[in-house]
Structure 1
Amino acid sequence: VLSNVNGNLSDISERISERDDDDDDDDDDDDLVLPQVKPMKKKRKTAVIRFNI
């Protein structure tokens, strides 16, 4: 189970890093995209933390 969780963590971290890069590229879209993306990131992070605990 732990190995699976660690794999999910790496995948999620890679996806978040990719999204952050995309957001930085488009300055005009930041105001519209960030409010929608941040809540999703928070939900995923809390879900992962719950599995770890």
Structure 2
Amino acid sequence: MRPIHPGGLLPICGARPSPQECNLLTEEAPGIRLCFNTSPENTVEALRRWIQA
């Protein structure tokens, strides 16, 4: 799997991925970090949590 964006950030909009899909992402891209929001309005908050982790 090739990186989509040179900065390593790939926004995925729509339905939340299943645990199996998250596992696949982490297996195919070691070191990937996932963050989730509950609405478009709190996307920045989700990214801030990701950066602080």
Return the TM-score normalized by structure 2: 0.33
Structure of greater relative contact order (alpha carbons < 8 Å, 6+ residues apart): 1
